[in-house]
Amino acid sequence: MITFENVKKTFADGTEAIKGIDLHIEEGKLVALIGPSGCGKTTTMKMINKLIHPSSGTISINGKNIADRKDVDLRRDIGYVIQRIGLFPHMTIEDNVALIPKLKGIKKQEYLKRVDELLSLVGLEPSVFKKKYPLELSGGQQQRVGVVRALAGEPPIILMDEPFSALDPISREQLQAELKDLQKSIRKTIVFVTHDMDEALKVADEIVVMKDGSIEQIATPDELLRQPANDFVRSFIGEERIQSALNTFSPYTTKVTEIMDKSPEDSTEMPAIHAEADLKEAAEMMVDQNAQALQVIQDETMLGVIYKDRLLSKLAGIERGA
Amino acid sequence: MQFISDFWDVVIQRQDIIIEGAIEHLYLSFSAIVIAILISVPLGIFISRHQRVAEFYIGITAVFQTIPSLALFGFLVPILGIGFETALIALIIYALLPILRNTYTGITGVDQAVIEAGHGMGMTGTQILFKIELPLSLPFLMAGIRTATVLTVGIATLATFVGAGGLGDVIWRGLQSYNNELVLAGAIPVALLALSFDFILKLLEKYTTPKGVKLK
């Protein structure tokens, strides 16, 4: 969806903010850019809607170079949420949300309906909130409006620049959870800048770790915790998080393939379980069918067998050297 | 009591020159303010976008402001001669600073987060100016116009020295003829005009403050 090819940015004062990055952001993914301050994460994000222009390299959206598009047109197709919220204080919530649809020339009836839908989507009752002004709302409510304002123009892409970092911890957690749910229902491509590793691990499908204008690692939260690419990434994530991730064992996330015996004896009489199943499903099946072992099947081929003993020791946390 | 009835007699007797003076006074002040707004507001918008030169322009108007008003009229007479235009130009020069400075402060004082959001959402520079910056800075702008108006109405009294009429004429006649009642018959209307402009513009200032901003 969004592709960076050898993108560099040198500012007028000579600072090399971005030292040549290649990045591909897939459609429908929530990608977090993270790194210490000055690493270029915000610059990278702002190049997507041309608030900052790259010094060299190309950025394309759906294969089209964004340099060929008019700034204003491009931005109307990209939602934008900022840390300091930036709602227009002299306009009602309704007018704030309706601004981009209005600028895009969408019919009044249509966008008024959309405002109502969007406000309901983030739990703000339209009849109560739409005639209010931003300053009458709490910080968390304001940023909810900030998010739906970005959605109002129905952009396929949304950029979020540390959207929750100015909020109190409780609102922040709520909004992170809501964003995750929202992402599931609206399937937008979201680029999310943050400096908070917990936030990135919580909301992102993919995390891009940056340092000094370069990308250090691109990985899913799980991969990042289990296989940090280098010492910098490791220390940036924090030893504590890595350890706790390694130690957390959850029957919900461990796949049956992890404890399967790959060279079993005769397995023909055993009930079958698919390779994607987790340990909990395996345990349930064993109980239901009163089985001592299950065969693991993928695409109609048998991969191996899991035995009850092995499953029990795994669930109980009794690990014997394999 | 004697004084008040004497004063009243003078007002009745000389009502023709008082009314004429007041009309000239209003006309002069009003023209000066309108022209000063037409110069200062666009200039204020311009310097808010070119902040490097902002101090320079504000500095120039501030220097004008420091020239004593009577001296400024004095400077202008050798250049422009006497008459309405000379007074008008002097008054415009005085009205520039408050309006320029308030326009500039108002626009640059708009929360940068709001401007960034506007840009990021795809508003053009013109849309940001008219839909965000001007509405949000309007109360400041009105405050500047109010200051300038009160100032101008007061200084317009000096227009009489360059032969441009106004209520200054009435005061000056009174002074020359040692007629205190006549001096007051000119001075009181000037004060009343200034006060009522101040009052009306204050209401306007309140009215122009966007509703959502008042909540602060």
DSSP A209-237: EEETTEEEEEE-HHHHHH--SSHHHHHHH
pLDDT of residue A252: 65
User: Which residue is it, tokens 């509405």?
Assistant: B135
Among the partner-chain residues A73, A82, A91, the one whose CB lies closest to the CB of B212 is A91
The domain that contains B86 carries what CATH number? 1.10.3720.10
Q: Is A297 within a domain?
A: yes
Choose the final residue of a domain: A201, A228, A247: A247
The total of structural domains in chain B comes to: 1
pLDDT at B141 exceeding the cut of 80: yes
Taking an 8 Å cut-off on Cβ atoms, the answer to whether B213 and A85 are in contact is: no
Query: What value does the mean pLDDT of chain B take?
Result: 92
Give yes or no: residues A274 and A155 share one domain.
Answer: no
Domain assignment of residue A93, given as a range: 2-247
Q: Which of residues 134-163 of B touch A (CB under 8 A)?
A: 135-136
Specify the amino acid at residue A111: Y
pLDDT band at A319 (very low <50, low <70, confident <90, very high): low
pLDDT of residue A321: 45
- A52/A58 Cα distance (integer angstroms): 13
CB neighbours of A178 closer than 8 A, spacing ≥ 6?
Answer: A122, A123, A144
Give yes or no: residues A230 and A262 share one domain.
Answer: no
pLDDT of residue A300: 80
Q: Is B12 within a domain?
A: no
Choose the final residue of a domain: A247, A269, A302: A247
pLDDT of residue B193: 94
* Alpha carbon of A237: minimum distance to chain B alpha carbons (Å): 30
Give yes or no: residues A189 and A265 share one domain.
Answer: no
Q: Is B5 within a domain?
A: no
Domain assignment of residue B153, given as a range: 19-211
Mean pLDDT confidence for A90-117: 92
pLDDT at A292 exceeding the cut of 90: no
pLDDT band at A322 (very low <50, low <70, confident <90, very high): very low
Mean pLDDT confidence for A57-77: 93
Q: Is B10 within a domain?
A: no
A169 sits in which H/E element: helix A169-186
Among the partner-chain residues A74, A86, A133, the one whose CB lies closest to the CB of B116 is A86
pLDDT band at B30 (very low <50, low <70, confident <90, very high): very high
* Residue pLDDT, tens place only, B164-194: 889 999 999 999 999 889 999 999 999 999 9
Bridge partners of A193, per DSSP, are A33, A161
What percent of the residues of chain A are helix, what percent strand, and what percent coil, each to the nearest 5?
40, 25, 35
pLDDT of residue A312: 84
Nearest CA in chain A to B212: A90
* Residue pLDDT, tens place only, A209-254: 999 999 999 999 988 988 889 999 999 998 888 888 777 766 666 7
* Residue pLDDT, tens place only, A128-165: 999 999 999 999 999 999 999 999 988 999 999 999 98
Q: Does B120 touch chain A (CB under 8 A)?
A: yes
Give yes or no: residues A232 and A285 share one domain.
Answer: no
pLDDT of residue A91: 94
Q: Is A46 within a domain?
A: yes
Give yes or no: residues A126 and A263 share one domain.
Answer: no
Q: Is B6 within a domain?
A: no
Angle between helices B15-49 and B180-208 (to 10 degrees): 40
Give yes or no: residues A120 and A267 share one domain.
Answer: no
Q: Name which of A160, A127, A157, A125 is nearest A146 in CA terms.
A: A160
- B7/A55 Cα distance (integer angstroms): 78
Assess contact for B32 and B88: CB atoms under 8 A. Answer: yes
The domain that contains A175 carries what CATH number? 3.40.50.300
Choose the final residue of a domain: A198, A221, A247: A247
Least confident of A57-71, A255-269, B75-89: A255-269
Give yes or no: residues A161 and A263 share one domain.
Answer: no
Specify the amino acid at residue B194: A
Q: Is A23 within a domain?
A: yes
Pick the residue of B112, B115, B116, B121 with the most A CBs within 10 A to test the interface with A by mutation: B121
- A249/A285 Cα distance (integer angstroms): 20
Count Cβ–Cβ pairs < 8 Å, chain A vs chain B: 81
pLDDT at B83 exceeding the cut of 50: yes
Give yes or no: residues A165 and A269 share one domain.
Answer: no
Give yes or no: residues A285 and A193 share one domain.
Answer: no
Q: Is A322 within a domain?
A: no
* Residue pLDDT, tens place only, B120-132: 999 999 999 999 9
Least confident of A166-180, A260-274, B43-57: A260-274
* Residue pLDDT, tens place only, B94-107: 999 999 999 999 99
The total of structural domains in chain A comes to: 2
More confident call, B75 vs A244: B75
Taking an 8 Å cut-off on Cβ atoms, the answer to whether A133 and B215 are in contact is: yes
- B148/B174 Cα distance (integer angstroms): 27
pLDDT at B204 exceeding the cut of 80: yes
pLDDT of residue B216: 56
- A183/A180 Cα distance (integer angstroms): 5
3-state per-residue secondary structure call for B53-89: HHHHHHHHHHHHHHCCHHHHHHHHHHHHCCCHHHHHH
A207 sits in which H/E element: strand A206-211
Give yes or no: residues A232 and A163 share one domain.
Answer: yes
* Alpha carbon of A118: minimum distance to chain B alpha carbons (Å): 17
Q: Is A267 within a domain?
A: yes
Give yes or no: residues A172 and A218 share one domain.
Answer: yes
Residues of chain A contacting B210 with CB distance shorter than 8 Å: 89-90
pLDDT at B27 exceeding the cut of 90: yes
pLDDT of residue A304: 85
Q: Which residues in A have their CB inside 8 Å of a CB on B?
A: 49, 51, 71-80, 82, 84-92, 99-100, 103, 133-136, 146, 149-150, 153, 159
3-state per-residue secondary structure call for A33-83: EECCCCCCHHHHHHHHCCCCCCCEEEEEECCEEHHHCCHHHHHHCEEEEEC
The domain that contains A267 carries what CATH number? 3.10.580.10
Mean pLDDT confidence for A271-281: 84
pLDDT of residue A251: 67
Nearest CA in chain B to A101: B121
Give yes or no: residues A136 and A88 share one domain.
Answer: yes
pLDDT band at A201 (very low <50, low <70, confident <90, very high): very high
The pair of structure tokens assigned to A292 is 């001592």
